[in-house]
Amino acid sequence: MIALIDGDMVAYRAAFLAETEIMWNDQYWTLHSEPSKMQSEAIRHVGELMDEANCDSVELAFSSKKNFRKDLNPLYKSNRKTKRKPLGLSALIEWMSANWKSYTVDNLEADDVIGIMASKPNNNYIAVSGDKDFKTIPCKFYDFTRKQFHDITKTEADFTHLCQTLAGDPTDGYAGLKGFGMVTAEKYLNKHGATWKSVVDAYTSKGSNETEALLNARMAYILRHGDYTKSTKKIKLWNS
């Protein structure tokens, strides 16, 4: 098996861990980071993830600077603009991309790149990330935050995606329905059926509509095999 790792998360963690605070003459603080320390942290983290996922080889995926979801919904991840990025992050990603086999696809997030590759039939990949949203992809998935392995079927992935459509994801800047978290969404779909009609019915019952439901479904959906055409760079948006 090949560990297909979410390079964004590794780079963020490594860059933050490499930062050092210094107080000068008891008067002011500065923050600095050494490239060699960032690189060492990245190497250590990648090695640990390979061991945990029981893989002998590794490939990394990184997000493009542009993101098609922001074209659909300008609020997507807009709440992260005020959050400070670690020092040297862009340089570290460039170094990681040059030192491991890696992928960056225009207009796609790392999640999408992994989703497309890891959901291809008869592949040798295990998706490795700490993001629970990977449970919306039919693939083998190692969640390193929770130390859990998953072998997700299409039925399970589709169900989780509909739950996410109802619940929304405030950390990604799109809201679901008031009163719906993931647990409530699961109970609702188990009771009323895991169908698009059930989702739309929930939205309309809360005074919303199918247009809003579809937008959130597209925000929540991670691309899968067949959803991206490399030659034309065309993205197949999720549809009911």
The sign of the CA dihedral 65, 5, 31, 37 is negative
N-terminal to C-terminal alpha carbon distance within the chain? 33
pLDDT digits (tens, 9 = 90+) for 137-172: 999 999 999 999 999 999 999 999 999 999 999 888
Structure token pair of residue 53: 């996922």
Phi first, then psi: what are they for 71, rounded to 5°? -70, -35
Q: Which architecture characterizes domain 155-220 according to CATH?
A: Orthogonal Bundle (1.10)
For residue 5, the cross-strand partners are 60, 128
- Cα atoms in the 13 Å half-sphere on the side-chain side of 116: 17
pLDDT digits (tens, 9 = 90+) for 117-139: 999 999 999 999 999 999 999 99
Which residue, among 33, 59, 37, has the nearest Cα to 113 in the 3D structure?
59
Supply the pLDDT for residue 210. Answer: 97
- As a CATH number, domain 2-153 is 3.40.50.1010
Average pLDDT over residues 98-113: 98
Supply the pLDDT for residue 227. Answer: 98
User: Domain coordinates of the chain in residue numbers?
Assistant: 2-153, 155-220
Residue 150 identity = H
d(C-alpha 126, C-alpha 118), whole Å: 7
* Domains 2-153 and 155-220 fall in the same CATH topology: no
Within 8 A by CB and 6+ apart from 87, the residues are 15, 18, 19, 31, 32, 33
d(C-alpha 53, C-alpha 57), whole Å: 10
Phi first, then psi: what are they for 189, rounded to 5°? -70, -35
Supply the pLDDT for residue 75. Answer: 87
d(C-alpha 110, C-alpha 117), whole Å: 11
3-state secondary structure of 97: helix
